[in-house]
């Protein structure tokens, strides 16, 4: 089956602080190569995690896939489209580290926002809103927040806010979910619960997921494949990708899996790859 997410020899350099020019003239720009020769093909229904040391370019990779940044070089496609187009038409959707919610909108209005923005009569919203009521109720039920539909974000806990953000990301029924350390700020128990909820959604909605995390345990628990990145290109591979660890553990995954020797073995493999990534620094 052909890939739903394709990155072919992607490089991304950021222009960073100019050196001061002489006599008021503009100084030279300096480019920082963040992502180098990054090739990744994700097939439909696959769950891929990206890990690597802080500052290695994980968020940059995700932003490239979400069309928030443009690559300096290489080819990239999501659902056969330019990444920004895939997001615009609702085929892919992003969830950030901090739940970015609109404080002046209730949980349900935050979830409805993608539909409101696309409604041909958005300016006549109050009467139009009613037609989406069932959709929003179902979405909030999906993340177990039906009771909190009328709450404003500042009255919800961090985990609940992130669940609202997840519900909103599902509003347009995307095929691809892109998540950047979405549960990084949560305590371990809540994180475990959110991981299980995400796996349930992944299963029910037959999603394809790209998930950035710092935690090798989380990566192994969730994914079919862990992509390990280094800061700067690895001398061995000539790319930002140091290694890929295939996680052929059975699904559905339950928390008991974390006690299984096969799980430990994969975590060990991931750790070794991470050490190699640090050496490549
Ligand atoms: N807009 C930008 N302009 C210049 N440099 C940037 C920009 N965005 C990111 N960088 C640099 O690119 C590098 C990679 O940043 P990125 O946020 O992708 O890393 P990361 O792997 O997500 O890190 P973390 O694990 O800390 O979230 C860093 O050195 C950062 O300073
Ligand atoms: Mg990041």
Per-residue pLDDT for the chain (281 aa), expressed as one digit of tens each?
589 999 999 999 998 776 676 776 776 677 889 999 999 999 999 999 999 999 999 999 999 999 999 999 999 999 999 999 999 999 999 999 889 999 999 999 999 999 988 888 878 888 888 889 999 999 999 888 999 999 999 999 999 999 999 999 999 999 999 999 999 888 899 899 889 999 999 999 999 999 999 999 999 999 999 999 999 899 999 999 999 999 999 999 999 999 999 999 999 999 999 998 887 55
- Output the pTM of the full model: 0.93
Burial profile 238-277: b = 16 or more Cβ within 10 angstroms, e = fewer? ebbbbbebebebeeebeeeeeeeeebeebbebbeebbebb
Class of domain 3-91+174-279: alpha beta
Kindly state if the Cβ of 57 falls inside 6 Å of ligand 1.
Answer: yes
CA–centroid distance, 194 to ligand 2, in Å, is: 19
- Every domain of the chain with CATH number 3.40.50.300 lies at 3-91+174-279
Question: CB–CB of 189/158 below 8 Å?
Answer: no
Which amino acid residue places its CA nearest to atom 17 of ligand 1? 59
Pocket probe for ligand 1: among 13, 17, 57, the residue whose CB has the most ligand atoms within 8 Å is: 57
Instruction: Give the CA dihedral 2, 3, 8, 13, nearest 10 degrees.
Output: 170
Partners of 16 in the β-ladder: 30
Question: CB–CB of 204/238 below 8 Å?
Answer: no
pLDDT of residue 176: 98
| Per-residue three-class SS string for 97-148 | CCCCCCCCCCHHHHHHHHHHHHCCCHHHHHHHHHHHHHHHHHHHHHCCCHHH
pLDDT of residue 124: 84
Kindly state if the Cβ of 225 falls inside 6 Å of ligand 1.
Answer: no
Question: CB–CB of 29/71 below 8 Å?
Answer: no
Which position has the token pair 């690559």? 71
The tokens describing 262, both together, are 């096969």
Q: Which atom of ligand 1 is nearest to the CA of 32?
A: 5
The tokens describing 266, both together, are 């994969």
pLDDT of residue 129: 87
How far apart are alpha carbons 199 and 205 in whole angstroms?
10
């Amino acid at each position: 089956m052909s890939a739903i997410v394709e990155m072919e020899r992607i490089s991304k350099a950021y222009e960073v602080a100019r050196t001061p020019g002489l006599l008021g003239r503009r100084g030279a720009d300096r480019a920082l190569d963040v992502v180098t020769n990054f090739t990744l093909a994700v097939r439909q229904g696959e769950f891929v995690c990206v890990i690597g040391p802080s500052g290695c370019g994980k968020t940059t990779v995700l932003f490239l896939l979400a069309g928030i940044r443009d690559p300096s070089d290489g080819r990239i496609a999501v659902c056969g489209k330019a990444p920004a187009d895939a997001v615009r038409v609702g085929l892919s959707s992003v969830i950030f580290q901090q739940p970015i919610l609109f404080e002046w909108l209730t949980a349900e209005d935050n979830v409805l926002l993608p539909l409101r923005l696309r409604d041909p009569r958005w300016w006549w919203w109050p009467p139009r809103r009613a037609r989406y009521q069932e959709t929003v109720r179902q979405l909030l039920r999906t993340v177990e927040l039906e009771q909190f539909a009328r709450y404003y974000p500042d009255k919800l806990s961090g985990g609940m806010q992130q669940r609202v953000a997840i519900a909103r990301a599902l509003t347009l029924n995307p095929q691809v979910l892109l998540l950047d350390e979405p549960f990084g700020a949560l305590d371990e128990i809540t994180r475990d619960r959110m991981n299980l909820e995400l796996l349930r959604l992944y299963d029910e909605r037959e999603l394809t997921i790209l998930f950035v995390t710092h935690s090798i345990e989380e990566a192994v628990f969730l994914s079919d494949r862990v992509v390990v990145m280094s800061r700067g290109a690895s001398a061995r591979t000539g790319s930002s990708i140091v290694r890929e660890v295939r996680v052929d553990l059975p699904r559905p995954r339950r928390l008991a899996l974390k006690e299984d020797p096969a799980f430990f073995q994969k975590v060990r493999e991931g750790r070794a790859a991470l050490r190699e990534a640090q050496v490549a620094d």
